[in-house]
Amino acid sequence: MKPAPFAYAAPRSVDEAAALLAEHGGEARLLAGGQSLVPMLNFRLLEPALLIDINRIAGLDGIAEVAGGLRLGALVRHRALETSPLIAHRFPIVAAAMAEVAHLAIRNRGTIGGSLAHADPAAELPLLALLLEAKITAVSAKGRRVIAAADFFTAALTTALAPDEILTEIELPDLPAGSGWGFAELARRAGDFALAAVGAVIAEAGGVCRIARIAMAGVGSTPLRAPAAEALLQGGALDPGAIAAAARAAAAAAQPAEDLHASAAYRRHLVEVLTRRALSAAVARARKAAP
Amino acid sequence: MREELRPKLVGARVKRVEDPRLLTGQGSFADDYRPAGMVHVALLRSSYPHARLLRIDTAAARSLAGVVAVFTGDELAEAARPMVATSKMKDYRATPMPMLARGKVRYVGEPVAAVVAASRYLAEDAARRIAVDYAPLPAESDPLRAAEASAPLLHEEARSNVVLSREFARGDAAAAMAAAPLRVGARFRFRRKAVLALENRCYLAEYHRGRRELTLYSATQVPGIVRDALAELMDMPEHLIRVVAADVGGGFGGKASLYPEELLVAVLARRLGRPVKYTSDRLEDLLSTSQAFDEIVDAELGVAADGTIAALTAEVVGDVGAYSIYPWTAALEPVQVVSFLPGPYRMPNYRGRVRGIATPKAPLGPYRGVGRPVAAFVMERLIDMAARRLGIDPVAMRRRNFVAAEEFPYRTGSGIIWDRAGFTECLTAVRDALDYDGLRRRQEEARAAGRWVGIGFASYAELTGIGSKIPAAPGMPVNTGTETATLRIDPSGSVTAIFGIASHGQGLETTLAQVVADELGVRLEDVRIVQGDTAGRAYTTGTYASRSAVLAGGAGKLAAAALREKVLRAAAHLLEAHIDDLVAEGSRVAIRGTDRSLSFREIARSVYLQFGRMPPELQEELEATKLYDPQFGTTSSATHAAVVEIDPETFGVRVLRYVVAEDCGRVINPMIVDGQVHGGVAQGIGAALLEEVVYDGEGQLLSGSLMDYLVPSAVEIPPMEVIHIEAESPTTLGGFRGMGEGGTIGAPAAIANAVTDALAPLGIEVTELPVTPERLYRLVEAARGKE
Amino acid sequence: MSGKRRVAVTVNGTRHEREIEPRLLLGDFLRSELDLTGTHFGCEHGICGACTVILNGDSVRACLVFAVQADGGEVLTVEGLGSVEALHPLQQAFHEHHGLQCGYCTPGMLMTALDLIRKHGRLTEAAVRAGISGNLCRCTGYQNIVAAICAAAEAMQSEEPAGDA
């Protein structure tokens, strides 16, 4: 299982990388962490003529505080997310979810930009980007644009990025003070892709739900939000009955496929269970954080 | 110190002599050899499960820079005889396995063409340029449908896809079953497994043109079988063939057969006059290494009201894949399912019938436990099903039906003889280690709190250390029943012990050294075990079937005793003492009760270098060769217990606790024995919960990566407690029993019973493995649908 | 951009310069170019962990990194951990606890354990099991490996400050 031959470039700046992409477009692939791309090259599922290694580009691996949130460079490694005090403080759901991602050696290399651009429907980071309503910056020789997470994942392993665009940074808007989070997934083994995963964010005030977000992975060709389920919770009491109803609605919104690991029916069942667990945890955390 | 009191190496937790090189990256696995001029093979493999090969166009591949040659099956037709696993078994149809496909392909992944190039990278580039015209043929992947007369034939000359059938019977099972007050039964399904050693298969052949000698470095467990086969298939005398299995990265049976790629590199090395290496990648391993544990068993158990077994009947269908594995034949696993099914139980009436069906899949071959894991799964589930129906505790049910001490030797319904084994002792030991009554109370409390906790037992018996009177398969051209050891002392006093076995993780370089050192009276560090190399022996096979400790250990003891005699006779002369007053220990020979002694080195130097001055009767090399044949073999047995918890909503299964009590006779190295149990249990847990080779209805392999074929990690395997019982010393020399395969035999059954126990309130019986969360979801939905 | 590139990689303290194809995997570079055959391939798609080495201070899969990416970098393989005459505490612990059988997964297991201990110091059994969950072993059932790593972590705390091999 050796890869097909390719030409190789290691640009030192985003502009240089963008210029290469402009010239080679669909014949080129960007190499960041490589933990998803290189297996595909080794299996010869992909045979790009040119591999553009962006790991030598300085300044793309920062985690910085900006107004209203955090800005993460595309080359921030999973390991850095897992151990960053800023992330632990501002987005503990990310720190918790990263512990489920693959294994140490993968997390040492894998990057947030790579994971989002690869867009595996069962991966944790795309789910989190959707849940946290991330804003994704794409740069090309023609300029830059910001893509909302809700518009970013278009199909399995497919994003809104054009062939000449590089994902350079991700902005995570702060969650409201006092909001709680929950994350639940089921994988066959520790670190495997989830059969289903659900993340939830809840904010409660005056005994009433102010913010409800539910996102799921592994049950559609992209990560999904569950707006109908969210609407059920919005403005109401966060009691077990409401949570159960929202969980059923989330399950109904899922679009699971069947594979050798699990049927669609079982995955849908998991969404209901995991949503209930994630929501319950989020509510509990929100109440603990309440002033 | 009296001889009987001195510390012995046998029985001690001696650290392994293999470790230093393996820990420091200095091992010699087949792929580590890189002789000058070596070229690499990449194979083009079939993408169809069943098709005629119309045309193979290799021109584009040949023209690529760095390509040395490209071969198809037709081009190599005269290069070697076909591999045919033969058997005298009635109702067995041999299905020859080609080196490269000829005329047609019979499974996805079957090798179709071979590219030889300067690097594996280039060879793969070239393989992609080969164009093959296939004419797809209808294929039947399901073994039951493939058995029907109307199914498309995989091997026309066999005239049927049913390539073997056999029956074992005793008493009148039909009548006894009809008369039994209670009958329990089910269709049991054990799904196909990949052996999945961490080291992929790798073969490197060197052909010395001047000496016309072939040397094959092979990731194999059976260098002797491979040498014999190469000699026959390549029409060469065996003294020109050497097969070396230096360090092998796990075998478990997947490396215990001759493979087409193995023959191929030998043939190509001879033809090209250069070293030729083939290293399988993991995809190829999942496609083409032998697979295992794939049977459908319709079984029924008839019992009396008190739980006593009256009769057992079973119809077994084995899915043996596209070819009959060499040399064991496709019959190996399916027949063992039906011959070991009666287990350690008293069973007056038994009928077991088995058919092996050819389907377009990789061939079925040996994997740890062979047919016994499936047999234990079925029997132990039936025991529990009957126990539950009668309201009898599963431990009591087993105890009631075990062959009792006074009944040994006991002939089972399939003709296997159990001799003096610790069935009841193992069960009692596990029960006590679990604090069984306390555990059941805690289970009740957990159930009351809504947790699904289950306790499962599995007891099994098997034959190990098998001698020449028990053939592995009738008419098979392999003698698995003997081993020979040659021991020699050189002038420096160091000892070389040459065996034909082939260690691949079980530490035989250490355990055999312990046996030899104790028997000979030398220090462990003065013994070097030579193994895994056919150069040492005229006839050998290798390491498989839990035989090496018994057979090689026995041969080592005999040879060491004979050599010790020679050493003592020489020492008696040199020390001017009576031989009966001498004791050999710690590489010295001393006159008992005095401080007069000689080292082995001094004795050896005298014998070799002052040869002329020794008396005529002592003018001999310090060497001894002895063969050991245990004739029949011995019974190994164990009871396993698993405690599992199932998440009542997600149906994820966790193994909380695992206990094994095994009777493996005299233990040479308890550390190594424990390690073997741990590893086997881990594979058994994987087989029960995670692992499944999946082919779709069109014969395409779906589980083509390690993301799809799931092997357990350290998180999925619990800590395991291992208790050694030596119920009674077996008749083998040294009192050893084989024990390498027990983990996989007991674990799937114990897990299946534990999961069933956890689901007892829903009345669910687990009859299919692996029992995955998906399958549990289906079972629970169905059970709830009935409420 | 096509064709071979010249790279310089420091492996186990020794600098090596080679001209290689960009597609040459780091594991093949170590095994074929440098004759360091201690690093083993088990799957070539990043799952089994047998090929794990330390690159620029972090454990990585040598099957998922191209050798050109290690240009100017530092690699530590099992051959640089210790020798038969002087085993590293991790190797010694594996020896004492029977943490290996066939030895094929062992180099990757050792390098992963090294990274775990460097990053975490003392480790609970659960943390070790989670930490090595990306290193498949088919022989040992993991029990003795876990015991060995816990013991080594303990031994290495009292020996040297975290961060040294």
Q: What is the pLDDT of residues C63-117, one digit of tens each?
A: 999 999 999 999 999 999 999 999 999 999 999 999 999 999 999 999 999 999 9
Distance CA A25, CA A189 (A): 38
Write the pLDDT tens digit of every residue in B720-737: 999 999 877 788 888 888
What does the pLDDT average to over B2-16?
A: 80
Write the pLDDT tens digit of every residue in B26-61: 999 999 999 999 999 999 999 999 999 999 999 999
Last residue in a domain, options C32, C50, C80: C80
* Contacts for A85 with CB less than 8 Å, ≥ 6 apart: none
What does the pLDDT average to over B711-719?
A: 98
Is the same domain home to C74 and C98? no
* Inside any domain, residue C19: yes
Q: Quick check: C130 contacting A, CB < 8 Å?
A: yes
What's the pTM value of the predicted model, to 2 decimals?
0.97
* % of chain B beyond a pLDDT of 90: 92
Residues of chain A with CATH 3.30.390.50: 179-289
Task: Kindly tell me if the per-residue pLDDT of B133 is higher than 90.
Answer: yes
B19: nearest CB among C42, C48, C100: C100
Q: Quick check: B353 contacting A, CB < 8 Å?
A: no
pLDDT for B16 equals 98
A43: nearest CB among C45, C119, C133: C45
Is the same domain home to C114 and C150? yes
Distance CA B370, CA B385 (A): 24
Distance CA A73, CA B439 (A): 53
Q: Quick check: B35 contacting C, CB < 8 Å?
A: no
pLDDT for B95 equals 86
* Chain A residues within 8 A of B700 when measuring between CB atoms: none
Taking each helix axis as running N to C, give the angle between helix B423-434 and helix B394-401, from 0 to 180 degrees, rounded to the nearest 10. 160
A105: nearest CB among C22, C49, C130: C49
Q: Which domain holds residue C10?
A: 5-80
| Banded model confidence at residue A291, pLDDT cuts 50, 70, 90 | low
* Inside any domain, residue C36: yes
Name the minimum distance, in Å, from the CA of A106 to any CA of chain C. 7
* % of chain C beyond a pLDDT of 70: 95
Residue scoring higher pLDDT (B472 or B497): B497
pLDDT for B470 equals 86
Distance CA B603, CA B581 (A): 16
Which amino acid is located at B157 in the chain? E
pLDDT for B4 equals 53
Residue scoring higher pLDDT (B473 or B460): B460
Which amino acid is located at C165 in the chain? A
CATH topology of domain A7-53: 3.30.43
* Chain B residues within 8 A of A261 when measuring between CB atoms: 708, 772, 774
What does the pLDDT average to over A270-275?
A: 98
Strands B309-321 and B350-358: parallel
Q: What is the DSSP letter of B705?
A: S
Asked if the Cβ–Cβ distance from A188 to B710 is below 8 Å, we say yes
Name the minimum distance, in Å, from the CA of A267 to any CA of chain B. 9
Cis bond before residue B327 (omega within 30° of 0): yes
Task: Kindly tell me if the per-residue pLDDT of B1 is higher than 70.
Answer: no
Distance CA B666, CA B738 (A): 10
Q: What is the CATH number of the domain that holds C136?
A: 1.10.150.120
Name the minimum distance, in Å, from the CA of A2 to any CA of chain B. 6
pLDDT for B471 equals 74
Is the same domain home to C24 and C76? yes
* Inside any domain, residue C164: no
Asked if the Cβ–Cβ distance from A9 to C21 is below 8 Å, we say no
* Inside any domain, residue C165: no
Torsion region of B100: left, alpha or beta (phi above 0 gives left; psi -120 to 50 gives alpha): beta
CA distances from A199 to A92, A235, A243 (A): 12, 20, 14
pLDDT for B354 equals 98
pLDDT, mean over chain B: 96
Write the pLDDT tens digit of every residue in A164-217: 999 999 999 999 989 999 999 999 999 999 999 999 999 999 999 999 999 999
Task: Kindly tell me if the per-residue pLDDT of B80 is higher than 50.
Answer: yes
**CB contact at 8 A, B762 and B778:** no
Closest-CA residue of chain B to C80: B24
Asked if the Cβ–Cβ distance from B774 to A262 is below 8 Å, we say yes
Name the minimum distance, in Å, from the CA of B589 to any CA of chain C. 30
Write the pLDDT tens digit of every residue in A70-109: 999 999 999 999 999 999 999 999 999 998 899 999 999 9
Closest-CA residue of chain A to C22: A8
pLDDT for A61 equals 97
Last residue in a domain, options C24, C45, C80: C80
C46: nearest CB among A4, A104, A106: A106
Nearest-5° Cα angle at B287, B295 to B777:
50
Is the same domain home to C50 and C71? yes
Nearest-5° Cα angle at A65, A62 to A68:
135
Compute φ and ψ for B544, nearest 5 degrees: -170, 170
Asked if the Cβ–Cβ distance from C35 to B34 is below 8 Å, we say yes
Q: How many distinct structural domains can be found in chain C?
A: 2
Write the pLDDT tens digit of every residue in A47-56: 999 999 999 9
Asked if the Cβ–Cβ distance from A266 to B282 is below 8 Å, we say no
Which amino acid is located at B617 in the chain? E
The chains in contact with chain B, meaning 3 or more Cβ pairs closer than 8 Å, are A, C
Residues of chain A with CATH 3.30.465.10: 63-173
Distance CA B675, CA B672 (A): 5
Distance CA A110, CA C146 (A): 26
pLDDT for B731 equals 85
Distance CA B502, CA B484 (A): 13
Last residue in a domain, options C30, C47, C80: C80
| Banded model confidence at residue B5, pLDDT cuts 50, 70, 90 | low
Q: Find out if CATH 3.40.50.740 is the number for domain A63-173.
A: no
Asked if the Cβ–Cβ distance from C23 to A6 is below 8 Å, we say yes
| Banded model confidence at residue A7, pLDDT cuts 50, 70, 90 | very high
Task: Kindly tell me if the per-residue pLDDT of B287 is higher than 60.
Answer: yes
Task: Provide the CATH number for the domain formed by A179-289 in this structure.
Answer: 3.30.390.50
Q: What is the CATH number of the domain that holds C33?
A: 3.10.20.30
* Chain C residues within 8 A of A50 when measuring between CB atoms: 1
pLDDT for C165 equals 44
Is the same domain home to C52 and C95? no
Distance CA B474, CA B477 (A): 9
| Alpha helix positions (H), B652-736 | 670-689
Q: Which residues pair with B701 in a beta bridge?
A: B695
pLDDT, mean over chain A: 97
The two three-digit tokens of residue A234, written as one number: 């919005």
Q: Quick check: A1 contacting B, CB < 8 Å?
A: yes
Task: Kindly tell me if the per-residue pLDDT of C31 is higher than 70.
Answer: yes
Q: Quick check: B698 contacting A, CB < 8 Å?
A: no
Compute φ and ψ for C95, nearest 5 degrees: -65, -45
Asked if the Cβ–Cβ distance from B21 to C98 is below 8 Å, we say no
Asked if the Cβ–Cβ distance from C100 to B23 is below 8 Å, we say yes
| Banded model confidence at residue C164, pLDDT cuts 50, 70, 90 | very low
* Contacts for A65 with CB less than 8 Å, ≥ 6 apart: A71, A86
* Contacts for B466 with CB less than 8 Å, ≥ 6 apart: B472, B480, B481, B545, B547, B630, B632, B633
* Inside any domain, residue C42: yes
* Residue in B564, B557, B567 with CA at minimum distance from that of residue B515: B557
Is the same domain home to C59 and C95? no
The two three-digit tokens of residue A179, written as one number: 């909001």
B716: nearest CB among A189, A263, A273: A189
Name the minimum distance, in Å, from the CA of B441 to any CA of chain C. 27
Is the same domain home to C75 and C102? no
A-B C-beta contacts closer than 8 Å: 59
Distance CA B520, CA B504 (A): 25
pLDDT for A290 equals 75
Q: Quick check: A9 contacting C, CB < 8 Å?
A: yes
The two three-digit tokens of residue A257, written as one number: 């496929």
